[in-house]
Amino acid sequence: MANSSALQTVNWGKSVLFLLICGLAAGCGSKSERPETITKLRAIGVEQVPVNAKIGDTVQLTFYLLGKPDTTLTPEVLLDTKAPYSTPIAVTPVDATPVETSLGPLSLYSYRATIAVVGSSVITASLARTGSARLRYQVKFNGSGDDENVVGDTIVYPENAPTLAWTAPIIAITKPATTASAGSLDLEGTIDSQGNETNHVSWFVSSGKVKNSSAKSTLWQDAESGTQTVVMTVRGKKSGAFAIKTQTVTLN
């Protein structure tokens, strides 16, 4: 039986699946818990620059997590050797520890690292066979029992591939305003996607629930009065190109 401190593994690979240790089985954890309502540490995405890489590139990674303020996080670089179609690679840390940004009742934690895309016989063979290759990275964030294990892929393409020009989407939160009434509110965002791919939307809130957390326009229900946090993320379904916007809202 899992509890609130159970380790969660988040895979930011091609399909980006949340793989909970306790899964979604009936009776596991609190039935009132909702994935979009942040009550404990949660990894929400990894930004990669460039979005897609070629041999010789250094990819800048920024890991983003939401959680309670003043959470002490210790990053641990690991190697994920279980993915059959990816080459494991260790990230090189840029930050010693995650940087905390206050968002009212929640904090956004960001952690920067890099990976060097070095040519190898495995990558060269994959590029020749399928036109792409994958480098698999893994970082575990230890937070006194409230831990997140983040795994993801950087996709490598040949020189001059059109996918090398893809960039992360540009997004904005247009609703709600920074001051609103508690209860039910409209959530709405805009997406300017420059990559030739479809995008996946995710909303996160500090209280209440979101009617459809993967819709660009939806409803924030049961939002409590006081200072609250809204976060919108967008991710390219093929490349994983990631964008994030945050907003602190005063609800009367």
Using an 8 Å Cβ cutoff, are 186 and 164 in contact? no
pLDDT of residue 144: 76
- Specify the CATH number for 8-251; select among 3.30.70.1050, 3.40.50.2300, 3.50.50.60, 2.60.40.10: 2.60.40.10
Which tokens is 235 given? 């991710």
Using an 8 Å Cβ cutoff, are 172 and 226 in contact? no
CB atoms within 10 A of CB 170: 13
Please give the distance of CA 211 from its chain centroid, rounded to a whole number: 20
What residue segments make up the domains of the chain, in order of their start? Answer: 8-251
pLDDT of residue 7: 56
Q: From CA 242, how far away is CA 150, in angstroms rounded?
A: 15
pLDDT of residue 77: 97
pLDDT of residue 88: 96
Q: Please check the confidence at residue 194 and state whether its pLDDT lies above 60.
A: yes
Burial of 144 (0-12, 13-18, 19+ CB in 10 A): exposed
pLDDT mean across residues, the chain = 88
Burial of 121 (0-12, 13-18, 19+ CB in 10 A): exposed
pLDDT of residue 34: 81
Q: Please check the confidence at residue 95 and state whether its pLDDT lies above 80.
A: yes
Tell me the pLDDT tens digit for each residue of 5-55: 345 567 655 433 333 222 222 233 344 468 899 999 999 999 999 999 999
pLDDT of residue 8: 59
Tell me the pLDDT tens digit for each residue of 209-222: 999 999 999 999 99
Q: Please check the confidence at residue 125 and state whether its pLDDT lies above 80.
A: yes
Q: From CA 68, how far away is CA 107, in angstroms rounded?
A: 6
Is the pTM here over 0.85, yes or no? yes
Mean pLDDT to the nearest integer, 100-109: 97
pLDDT of residue 33: 65
Q: From CA 100, how far away is CA 110, in angstroms rounded?
A: 7
- What is the percent of the chain with per-residue pLDDT over 90, rounded to a whole number? 79
Do strands 199-205 and 226-236 pair parallel, antiparallel, or not at all (unpaired)?
antiparallel
DSSP state of 164: G
* More confident site: 77 or 10: 77
**DSSP states along 114-128:** EEE----HHHHHHHH
Q: What are the CA-CA distances from residue 168 to residues 57, 219, 237 (Å)?
A: 17, 25, 11
pLDDT of residue 195: 61
Q: Please check the confidence at residue 4 and state whether its pLDDT lies above 50.
A: no
Tell me the pLDDT tens digit for each residue of 22-33: 222 223 334 446
pLDDT of residue 146: 83
Which tokens is 30 given? 């609190």
Using an 8 Å Cβ cutoff, are 56 and 50 in contact? no
Q: From CA 9, how far away is CA 78, in angstroms rounded?
A: 13
Which tokens is 125 given? 């063979």
pLDDT of residue 83: 86
Mean pLDDT to the nearest integer, 236-245: 92
pLDDT of residue 28: 34
